[in-house]
Chain A
């Protein structure tokens, strides 16, 4: 099992550009999450999904969108990137009480 994979590992965006952060899991988990982590801080939930076709907002959804067409994939879309979206983005899936995290995507918006 590869677990949770994320691409890209690192990306630089210009203000106003858009991009999609990819997340895939091969553990057949229904629950998936997108977090952002700013330096020295905890994790903030952006969006989550409880199964294919079902998504909902977390604490900080503004400026982001998600879709969940399959159990495996949960892409995060950034529209009109802003410097405030500079962060590390983690995707996770969960089974029972354990969340399994991908390696993260470091995003720099200049």
Chain B
């Protein structure tokens, strides 16, 4: 079974803190994604990575950065946390979606971040 783990299920931080969210996979999967999920807004893509040291901006990258130094690990960094970054953060492994694939997609369990 593929496992996608996230460093914390629940996290409470203060405004202005630097926050690290980590995603670790146990498969040799190239494509890793970070989403945030908010009521009424659905899932929105923050950043994604197709390989080590590669990163691409999604729809809402402002206030976030990412790091992928090893293939199995993709970190999301909130440089200076703000209250509007309170959300559920989801890491995902997605196959090469630009060609038909029978590969399964995997999402992590999520980190519910509250910024006070």
B is bound to A:
no
Which positions in B face A, CB cutoff 8 Å?
A: none
Q: Which residues of A contact B (CB under 8 A)?
A: none
